[in-house]
Structure 1
Amino acid sequence: MSARPVVVAHLSDLHLGAHDPAAVASVVADVAAARPALTVITGDSTMRARAGEFRQVRELIDRLPGPVLTVTGNHDLPLVSWRRLLRPYARFTRWIDADLDPARDVPGITALGLQSMPRWRWKNGRVTARQAAAVVRILGGSPAADVRVLALHHPPLATGTGRLIGRSRLLEAIRAARVDLVLAGHTHIPDVRVRGRQVFVVAGTAASRRTRGTPCSWSLIRVGPDEVVVRERYLHEGAWRVGRVVRARPGSAGAVSAAAS
């Protein structure tokens, strides 16, 4: 992990088209105030993958501090139409990123995104052997001093009905590549876990009206040499505030501690 702290802004599940206008109107300024080295959006940027929704996402991304890395979520594929069968990712690749597994090289950070939503599944995800190999090749081959960041929509640690197809090979690739930070969304519930040397961060919904026990939120992540600090920023009465601070210490016992702000 880098000897110099780096800052990553992690947003997810914007669901533009079924969003809270106050959240969308104010989140850019809040993210920009943190001056992140990288902004990551882990899927479900739209509600129903409509062209107008993708245009709104593009406008929002263009206002966020860059570089920005964005991956698909289950809501970013057309729900029921010929497009899902024949051109499931066409609008995403037109409006957001032509590469479905995008990579970003930033001073101090090597980041890789994975497209974890196959067109033949409606909600839960999959990671292929090819994608797992890319994790090892791209992140494992990054400079030793870089923070290695992996982003995808579906949480890799999910079990039961939410379990990723290819979960075992992805976790093995994450270990082999010595990934530092794994970012995901999907659940709308913020979460931080440590597994070995990896810190897994799930962001809440940054703008959707469909909150689940917490308000709209995004995660401000500071990665240092010995500790990852996640500040979950919640929207409260029209203003963004720190709602919870989680300190994660990779590779140590009792690695996660959390406190309300």
Structure 2
Amino acid sequence: MSGRPVVVAHLSDLHLGAHDRAAVESIADDVTRAGPALTVVTGDSTMRARTGEFRRARHLLDRLPGPLLTVTGNHDVPLVSWRRVLRPYHRYRTWMGTDLDPDRTAPGLVALGLQSMPRWRWKNGRVSARQAALVTRVLGGAPAGDLRLLALHHPPLVTGPDRLIGRARLLDAIRAARVDLVLAGHTHVPDVRVPWPGGPVFVVAGTSVSRRTRHEIGCSWSLISVHEGEVVVQERYLVDDGWTTGRVVTVPRPGS
């Protein structure tokens, strides 16, 4: 890694169809000003996986700075219809991208996204053995010194009844691949954690442009700067006159 930080913009839970118009109209400019090397959207780009919602999502994503990495969320699968059984990801693939486990590279960065929403799960997620092996192969094979980034909709650290099926094998793969940064969404509440010493930084983004806010936390996205020795996470919040930085969390970079 060079002396310059690797900057990542992390958005999640757009819920186009239940969106805040001011947030939608202004967020692309705010993200662009940050100059990210990669923009990541960790699922729930739509409210009910309708064609018009995916069209709105595509329009917004096309305004964000690339390269762009997106993954599915539980709201990106049709709720109750024959489509959920027979063609659960057809609209997502049509509008967002054909690869459900996409990977991206940028200078100093290798990123992998995982599709953590199987059609037979109602809300909570799953990571398969094949996907865990993909983490090990793609991110474990990244060049030495490159930032290794994993993105999925469901936070892997959640325990109890809402936990991710396959959580243990995913965490094993994260350790084996020496992942630096794990990005997720789903909760609508921003969070930053380092669950074990020297381990990766887990960042959950809030709901970026929707009205589905929780705990009186408004629309937000996370700006992540990865330096040689530390990771800085700035939470950007929508206020009356635009976007402003709220909480800033600084933690050691894994392996530093």
* Equivalenced residues, count: 253
2:15 is aligned with 1:12: no
Partner of 2:83: 83
User: Could you tell me how far apart the structure 2 residues matched to 1:109 and 1:180 are?
Assistant: 10
Q: Which amino acid aligns with 2:68?
A: V
Distance 1:7 1:251, change over 3 A: closer
Mind listing any 5+ residue stretches in structure 1 that lack a counterpart? 253-261
Of 205, 209, 212 in structure 2, the residue corresponding to residue 210 of structure 1 is 212
User: Could you tell me how far apart the structure 2 residues matched to 1:10 and 1:66 are?
Assistant: 12
Of 211, 227, 230 in structure 2, the residue corresponding to residue 227 of structure 1 is 230
CA contact (8 A) 2:180 2:254 kept: no
Q: Which amino acid aligns with 1:209?
A: R
Partner of 1:258: none
* TM superposition shift of 1:226: 1.2
User: Could you tell me how far apart the structure 1 residues matched to 2:14 and 2:155 are?
Assistant: 17
Instruction: Report matched runs for 1:173-188 at 5 Å.
Output: 173-188=173-188
CA contact (8 A) 1:185 1:202 kept: yes
CA RMSD of aligned residues (A): 1.4
CA contact (8 A) 1:40 1:69 kept: yes
Instruction: Report matched runs for 1:109-188 at 5 Å.
Output: 109-188=109-188
Q: Which amino acid aligns with 2:184?
A: A
TM-score, length of structure 2 as denominator length? 0.96
2:43 is aligned with 1:66: no
Bigger shift: residues 164-173 or 188-197:
188-197
* TM superposition shift of 1:4: 3.6
CA contact (8 A) 1:3 1:145 kept: no
* TM superposition shift of 1:208: 1.0
User: Could you tell me how far apart the structure 2 residues matched to 1:44 and 1:238 are?
Assistant: 26
User: Could you tell me how far apart the structure 1 residues matched to 2:120 and 2:219 are?
Assistant: 30
* TM superposition shift of 1:197: 2.2
2:248 is aligned with 1:245: yes
* TM superposition shift of 1:44: 0.2
Secondary structure of the 1:145 match is coil
Partner of 2:31: 31
Partner of 1:201: 203
TM-score, length of structure 1 as denominator length? 0.94
User: Could you tell me how far apart the structure 2 residues matched to 1:132 and 1:218 are?
Assistant: 27
